[in-house]
Structure 1
Amino acid sequence: MTLRDGLVTHPSVTQRYGHMVETGRIAHDPAQEKIATALDRLIADISDKRLARKSSALGWLFAKRNKTREPVRGLYVHGGVGRGKTMLMDLFHELVPVEHKRRAHFNDFMADVHDRIGQHRAALKAGETQETDPIPPVAAALAKEAWVLCFDEFTVTDIADAMILSRLFSALFDQGVVLVATSNVAPDDLYRDGLNRGLFLPFVGILKQHTRILELDIDTDYRMRKLNRIPVYMTPDDASAKKQMDEAWETVVDGRPVEPAALTVKGRTVPVPQASGSAARFSFSDLCEKPLGARDYLAIAGAFDTIFIDHVPTMDLRRRNEAKRFILLIDTLYDAEARLFLSAEAAPDALYTAANGTEAFEFDRTVSRLIEMQSRDWLERTDARNEEKPAPAGERTGQTG
């Protein structure tokens, strides 16, 4: 579609995807194009359904249900990390012609659901409602706010989530909600080996009934291929280094929400300024100018497999304490085989300028490790390890500060 002044719009997922290929932003992939086509078909189904119910003043969602019409089936797209699932879902969310739509990380959505259930129970206790079952009113409120739901990283690990999903989504689908979800696992593998999984299994049937299941079955991890072209050690610490760090961070985050978090270590709180999935971003000051020790660094390495450290300065005898912590930090991240992105004032062999003392001797090991952590062999090894890494068992909480 061409507008005046030569501007061109791309009104479908397939067209927008094709434009991204033509402009070199991404490489063409038939499997991705297949998902784009399926998303366009879903947009058409949603548009047809809206037209069929247009006569209702409140829209087709709240019109009297026509039992003869089939509900719109959503999509559940699964495949390995870095395959382009999030990119395609975001194109769908942008282009689907619906005002009341919501795009969320699945865990954030479920946290909202539990908050609403808690509020309903408080209202019941206070005598403000007579409805003893919180699921129907919570589902109705969610559907009224957004009847097209887009979930990134659909996964079930929490037993509290697992036990309510069947009833919650049965109620949402009864309200006409359309679901689009991306996941690293097929529906049959959700909550595998989870506690009381038998109680969860009806949800899998409900999910299959209300969504088409598609696999993005390609071998290339585009996110990692792009990431492998980005330097991991940026120096000098100038505007160019900041830009490179930001680009690498955006690639790692891959569209997921970024928010502050906190780790609890022996009753103490270790703030994480920016966290997204298994990636965390700190400044040198956050990690080495504060009284952190080995346990703290171990907790960070256990919770995150990709670490960004901004603004590492050169150090001398006046910064011996900071140098000691930096040595310990790099040792810990090295032992954990973490992927490290770092912006620094100087190259590794020029970071510590004092010629004498224990730190000067120990920093030689740090220099060697920083160099090795930039190597292709290291990056390939960390990619393989992180793909297989189980969820961390440590205590981690989000904070809104």
Structure 2
Amino acid sequence: MPSLTRAAYDRRLESGALTADPAQETAITALSRLERDLAKGGWLFRKPPQVKGLYLWGPPGRGKSMLMDLFYAEAPEPRKTRAHFHAFMARVHDLIRQWREGDSAQRKAVFGQSKGDDPIAPTAELIASEARLLCFDELQVTDIADAMILGRLFEALFEHRVVLAITSNRSPDDLYVNGINRPLFEPFIDIIKERCAVVQMAGGRDWRLARMANSRLWYSGLDMGRSQAFEHLWEDLKGDEPEEPAHLAVTGRNVVIERTVGGLARATFAELCARPLGASDYLAMAERFHTLFLEGVPVLGPDSQQEARRLVTLIDALYEARTRLVVLAEAAPEALYPKGVGAFEFERTVSRLNQMSSADWLEQADAA
């Protein structure tokens, strides 16, 4: 049977919307296999057949999310869900909380059952009742709470014949490296390798980096059409993927970034530097996202000492993590904080901002 995913990809090649890439060809072949396997069985089976999923990994910018978009649109499975992995896990933790805190009536209202102390089985059963195919973008594990439940959760999901299609920047063996109690996480790695074909998008071109290299990364008040150019680059990088909030668990708090697409995040200066956020919050953002679009950066004066200090801390976190940064500001870095407490120390941040706006920085960030 012809692959609808491949046909959709070929149409984009023919129209010039995409350029042929051997790394993407490897991924399309793997996704086409999964599409065909999902189509097997149909109504003749009382239960859907076991289908080996797909774990697609490789460096950022190679088009993994775009290819997942094509596959998800064409996959012949009516019960399917597409989600960023962190959003999925946030829901899982909420379901676990509802099971633990709910009485019998509340459990039945959400899960359709109420007996037992272990929340994993009813949570997995509920998720499996909603979708046979789960498509996840940007799987990475940094939170110990996620790490401790993933093995049991996905073992239960596979018992219900759920099929996974996953993208990640890391190979399965490199997930949660150096994490706390990692041996307890390793069964999840074994399950993924057993139940999914692991396919690497090796080499290939970083299309996101190429787009950024041909664009400005710092848009200041002196630039004509700066807002439009900033917006155009955001739209170009995120493509057709929908924006969604990201929830970062930081020392027991829920830090929300309202506009995210996979590893891309977009926020205003007020959201990140006018709120009481600190180094741990910014480090979590830098770890979670490979690119930050920061807009609405004002010229700061002596009465903006706290905002300037937070901006310094934010840039330090992004710099150390080699995060890509696109900025829409009222002025050039040198003119952002000319006077005030810490203005002299701010000169180091000016130097870092200029470095992060260079082509050399993009190349370093890609190699990191």
Q: Secondary structure at the match of 2:202?
A: coil
Q: Does 1:379 align with 2:358?
A: no
Structure 2 counterpart of 1:158, one-letter code = D
Query: Which of 180, 186, 211 is the aligned partner of 2:171?
Result: 186
Partners of 1:282 and 1:309 within 8 A in 2: yes
The 1:284/1:333 distance shift into structure 2, 3 A limit, reads closer
Q: Does 1:49 align with 2:41?
A: yes
Structure 2: which 5+ runs fail to align? 109-113
> Which digits, 9 at most, give the CA deviation of each residue in 1:212-259, with x for residues without a partner?
111111243222222222211224589943332223334566748532
CA distance in 2, matches of 1:13, 1:21: 13
CA distance in 1, matches of 2:148, 2:275: 42
CA distance in 2, matches of 1:162, 1:382: 27
2:134 maps to: 149
The 1:196/1:243 distance shift into structure 2, 3 A limit, reads same
CA distance in 1, matches of 2:148, 2:40: 34
Partners of 1:264 and 1:270 within 8 A in 2: yes
Partners of 2:141 and 2:176 within 8 A in 1: yes
Partners of 2:52 and 2:196 within 8 A in 1: yes
115-124 or 276-285, which deviates more: 276-285
CA distance in 1, matches of 2:142, 2:152: 17
Structure 1: which 5+ runs fail to align? 1-9, 54-62, 388-401
Aligned 1:222-233 pairs, distance under 5 A: 222-233=207-218
2:8 maps to: 16
Partners of 2:62 and 2:207 within 8 A in 1: yes
Query: Which of 85, 88, 92 is the aligned partner of 2:64?
Result: 85
The 1:381/1:188 distance shift into structure 2, 3 A limit, reads closer
Query: Which of 90, 93, 97 is the aligned partner of 1:114?
Result: 93
Distance apart, 1:297 and its partner CA? 6.6
CA distance in 1, matches of 2:254, 2:81: 33
Query: Which of 156, 159, 183 is the aligned partner of 1:198?
Result: 183
Partners of 2:296 and 2:330 within 8 A in 1: yes
CA distance in 1, matches of 2:253, 2:182: 34
Distance apart, 1:203 and its partner CA? 3.0
The 1:105/1:369 distance shift into structure 2, 3 A limit, reads closer
- Alignment TM-score, normalising by the size of structure 2: 0.76
The 1:32/1:122 distance shift into structure 2, 3 A limit, reads same
Q: Does 1:321 align with 2:302?
A: yes
Distance apart, 1:95 and its partner CA? 0.8
Q: Does 1:302 align with 2:283?
A: yes
Structure 2 counterpart of 1:43, one-letter code = E
1:59 maps to: none
1:25 maps to: 17
CA distance in 2, matches of 1:107, 1:278: 11
Distance apart, 1:261 and its partner CA? 5.7
Distance apart, 1:378 and its partner CA? 3.4
Partners of 1:105 and 1:256 within 8 A in 2: no
Aligned length: 350
Query: Which of 119, 127, 145 is the aligned partner of 1:160?
Result: 145
Partners of 1:13 and 1:37 within 8 A in 2: no
Q: Secondary structure at the match of 2:101?
A: helix
Identity %: 39
2:111 maps to: none
CA distance in 1, matches of 2:171, 2:16: 31
The 1:272/1:237 distance shift into structure 2, 3 A limit, reads farther
CA distance in 2, matches of 1:197, 1:291: 34
197-206 or 361-370, which deviates more: 361-370
CA distance in 2, matches of 1:24, 1:169: 39
CA distance in 2, matches of 1:185, 1:352: 37
- Alignment TM-score, normalising by the size of structure 1: 0.71
Partners of 2:21 and 2:205 within 8 A in 1: no
Distance apart, 1:301 and its partner CA? 4.7
CA distance in 1, matches of 2:41, 2:216: 48
Structure 2 counterpart of 1:106, one-letter code = F
Distance apart, 1:177 and its partner CA? 1.2
Partners of 1:327 and 1:362 within 8 A in 2: no
Aligned-residue CA RMSD (Å): 4.0
